[in-house]
Structure 1
Amino acid sequence: MAAGLPTAMDRPHFIGIGGAGMSGIAKILAQRGAKVAGSDAKESATAEALRALGATVHIGHAAEHLADDATCVVVSSAIRADNPELARAAELGIPVVHRSDALASLMEGLRPLAVAGTHGKTTTTSMLAVSLSELGLAPSYAIGGDLDAPGSNALHGDGEIFVAEADESDRSFHKYAPEVAIVLNVELDHHANYASMDEIYESFETFAGRIVPGGTLVISADHEGARELTSRVSGGSRVVTYGEAEDADVRIVSIVPHGLKSEVTVLLDGEELTFTVSVPGRHYAGNAVAALAAGVALGVPAAELAEALGAYTGVKRRLQLKGEAAGVQVIDSYAHHPTEMTADLEAMRAGAAGRILVVFQPHLFSRTQELGREMGQALSLADASIVLDIYPAREDPIPGVTSELIVDAARAAGAEVTPVHDKADAPAVVAGMAGPGDLVLTMGAGDVTDLGPRILDRLQSK
């Protein structure tokens, strides 16, 4: 099914074009023939990947970067009101479009599958993108992470299915109208935008209500928040539950680990189906079952999709092996919420021969303020941890909120923790702690990912 350019999106300008969500939309528009331009704070492999598609990418934000003939300016919720390019757009009368509206317009005329939840969105979206492509269905997709190379977070496909990661952080997932929606879990997060679980539930209810008539909601039967949401959702959509719970519609019968893979057996429509998940951990197995249930809801044969799911071997920053030096493996984890941290540490513990060492960088002052204690408790699952200063991202500091909140909580839980305030010192500290057979996890949603190669270099020189 051919998909053209949305109205007024033939010459878009993206402010923050290098971001995970923004770059994906820009890439699809470029592949559809749009004259894409934009700016980002720093040079990156993503910027280069966009240039390879014909996009113009400026480094730094300046009014002159915005061309007079731009048909719209695309922004995310992270763009501040005083951005000079945004001010220039107002002067020129160029329409400003939120990232979510741009993505929604790309899905028009196709069969959207939107993946939502507090954790696991990127992995589940990636599993669907890879497996549906493996089956020759040529889906379009927009993911919040790269599959195997910079710029591989999005693709314009010739098929009729569009798989999209649906972000709840700023309620932007209310803009989509999916044929099939997945809700993996529901927890309190994004404290700058949500004050309570009631607000979270209301937001997810609105998302579920956006499913097109006759569509399907695929939702966890195991997660407490998801079960509560299921009880609140009424009318319109067919609801398909999945998980290990006895009453799940797609029930997980067993998950058998085999090294960094798992053999998963599910009961689907009265028949058992066994397939391989090529990434470690029960939570990733659950993500794969959610993907299976969603694909079946779109009419993809279950056995074929189950086999194709085994082709997914991971996404960058989701337990991604960065390398090995001096007998020490270094793995990168995007986990930044206590639930995610616990899941990744448990997955690594199941396959680790030696000690697990963590370099953790807290993400956002607001999240640390609300969940710092739980983050510290999660770190008690490691043998030893280094805790860096908070990565602020889009936030200004909050008085009294520092990474010491996590360090204190971790020590109270019996963890061995070393605070390191200068990130540049971390590789030497890690190299002094690690020995052959150990596993090092760089963990967090900020720039802690940059430390992987430096840690490997330091281990090698040691």
Structure 2
Amino acid sequence: MLELKAHIHKVYFIGVGGIGMSALARYFKSRNVEVSGYDRKETNLTKQLSAEGIDIHYEENIASVPKNVDVVIYTPAIAATNKELLYCRENNYTVVKRSDVLQWITEQTFNICVGGSHGKTTISTMIAHLLRDTKYGCNAFLGGVSANYNSNFWASEKNVSVIEADEYDRSFLKLSPDVAVVTAMDADHLDIYGTAKEVENAYIQFALRVKTGGCLISKYGLKRGNELFADNHLTYSLEDKNADAFSLNRKVINGAYHFDVSYKNQVIKDFILNVGGLHNIENAVAAIATAKYIGIEEEKIKIAIANFKGVKRRFEYYLNNDEHILIDDYAHHPEELNALISGIRSLFAGKLTIVFQPHLYSRTNDMADDFAKSLDKADEVILLPIYPARELPMPGVTSDLILQKMAISNKKILSKEDLLATLRIEKPRLIAVCGAGDIDELLFPIKDILEAKEQ
């Protein structure tokens, strides 16, 4: 067990630019700890961290590792062969995973931990926003950047933490939830778990981590959901009336969702959600159920939901006008693509173009059939080459593995450069760009192309 007490004055991060790592870096910085780190490339997020006073370098160099560091924190996304990581281990630094630090934090606070193969970033951000907006108060450790606060972390004097519970590398099994939310138990990270059953087993173990007297809030109808146990167990759904919380009377008015919520047989009327996607109504139901469970007043919850601006890269509009609609989304799992496409169809008519960058060779290999079925729900699909992240290439695994399984005829694989050239020739009215790699770097170039007037 990691013991981090008041003696922590200097912390070094290997992979500081990761979304979860950067939240921890900000946590230590907020407590006047000296923070520095390495990442392999500069991003908008690392630029923000630098502006906040965190020293970051981008070359793997043991000479850049500071001396007299109290703890070195690394992410499993960093290669085991990383020179700085090896140096720290060989020279008796205290080296721990990000999940070890979250374990320490959750041993000291009241915790709302949100896990699931998809939906967890939006729901954890919604819950953290609800607690902040209603003045309930919380510390937030998020896996995405809140559009309301332009950050993935904030601190509070309230001894409450909202934490996105990451299932990769079984990290979430180190957390100690007072309230746990389980959004989905679909197969993912099979490079870690091996089988879908082992993924499900991990979520069952996560539910068992809920403290005595705590509450589990899970999506109704999950496969093996009847094996999820806690002293208190609530379920939520978009519309299934068998759940403890569900939405009803949904309608779209001026691009916003209006709906009511039934919570434990009591109907709470007149919610307004200004974030697109029917799945986000379901996400809101989970957040509302959490807020109700911990005792926040209904009128305050309604105001906070209406004020919620979403999460960067989750159904985020870059353009939304009469000429063009450009949506960015982090979707990198077949079920997330299904939710994205159905959400777009619920709001907009017409031809839908999806630009998708597969993330990881292993995930592409494991889920090629399901990716193809999901993408077939679009009218046109442009695939980019696979974003490898932490992985080395796998023989025979390319984006063509998905393309060949797709049924629609309007499909192609393009490089980033060829994609931009193609969009200059034919500008789609309705386009969604999705993936968990570096595809977001194309958003502003695509936006510029769509907005450019013909000469």
TM superposition score category, shorter chain reference: over 0.9
- How far has the Cα of 1:325 moved from its partner? 8.7
Measure the CA separation in 2 of the matches of 1:143 and 1:270. 31
Determine if the alignment matches structure 1 residue 364 to structure 2 residue 360: yes
Letter in 2 for 1:445: A
Determine if the alignment matches structure 1 residue 429 to structure 2 residue 428: no
Equivalences for 1:223-302 in 2 at 5 Å? 224-225=222-223, 228-229=224-225, 231-234=226-229, 236-243=230-237, 244-274=239-269, 275-302=271-298
Measure the CA separation in 2 of the matches of 1:407 and 1:326. 31
Q: Give the secondary structure class of the aligned counterpart of 1:36.
A: strand
Letter in 2 for 1:258: I
Residues 380 and 433 of structure 1: is their aligned pair in 2 closer, same or farther, counting only changes over 3 Å? farther
Measure the CA separation in 2 of the matches of 1:376 and 1:334. 17
Query: Aligned match of 1:407 in 398, 403, 407?
Result: 403
Measure the CA separation in 2 of the matches of 1:340 and 1:333. 9
Q: Give the secondary structure class of the aligned counterpart of 2:190.
A: coil
Contact 2:403 2:411 in 1 (8 A): yes
Determine if the alignment matches structure 1 residue 386 to structure 2 residue 379: no
Residues 134 and 344 of structure 1: is their aligned pair in 2 closer, same or farther, counting only changes over 3 Å? same
Q: Give the secondary structure class of the aligned counterpart of 1:128.
A: helix
1:180 corresponds to which residue?
A: 179
- How far has the Cα of 1:54 moved from its partner? 2.2
Residues 148 and 253 of structure 1: is their aligned pair in 2 closer, same or farther, counting only changes over 3 Å? closer
Partner deviation per Cα, 1:228-272 (whole Å, 9 max, x = no partner):
23x1134x5211111132321123334323353212212223321
Structure 1 stretches of 4+ with a deviation exceeding 6 A read: none
Residues 99 and 370 of structure 1: is their aligned pair in 2 closer, same or farther, counting only changes over 3 Å? same
Letter in 2 for 1:368: T
- How far has the Cα of 1:398 moved from its partner? 0.9
Letter in 2 for 1:120: G
Aligned residues: 449
Determine if the alignment matches structure 1 residue 156 to structure 2 residue 152: no
1:451 corresponds to which residue?
A: 442
Identical-residue share of aligned pairs (%): 33
Partner deviation per Cα, 1:16-57 (whole Å, 9 max, x = no partner):
100101001100110111111111111122222222332211
TM-score, normalization: structure 1? 0.92
- How far has the Cα of 1:189 moved from its partner? 0.9
Measure the CA separation in 2 of the matches of 1:103 and 1:392. 27
Measure the CA separation in 1 of the matches of 2:17 and 2:438. 14
Contact 1:220 1:241 in 2 (8 A): yes
Contact 1:24 1:154 in 2 (8 A): yes
2:165 corresponds to which residue?
A: 166
- How far has the Cα of 1:149 moved from its partner? 8.4
Measure the CA separation in 2 of the matches of 1:120 and 1:384. 25
| Alignment gaps of 5+ in structure 2 | none
2:44 corresponds to which residue?
A: 45
1:135 corresponds to which residue?
A: 134
Measure the CA separation in 1 of the matches of 2:5 and 2:444. 41
Determine if the alignment matches structure 1 residue 416 to structure 2 residue 410: yes
> Larger deviation: 167-176 or 257-266?
257-266
- How far has the Cα of 1:447 moved from its partner? 0.9
- How far has the Cα of 1:91 moved from its partner? 3.2
Measure the CA separation in 1 of the matches of 2:430 and 2:26. 35
Measure the CA separation in 1 of the matches of 2:289 and 2:320. 36
> Larger deviation: 72-81 or 254-263?
254-263
> Larger deviation: 205-214 or 251-260?
251-260
Letter in 2 for 1:59: Y
Measure the CA separation in 1 of the matches of 2:24 and 2:150. 11
Q: Give the secondary structure class of the aligned counterpart of 2:404.
A: helix
1:322 corresponds to which residue?
A: 318
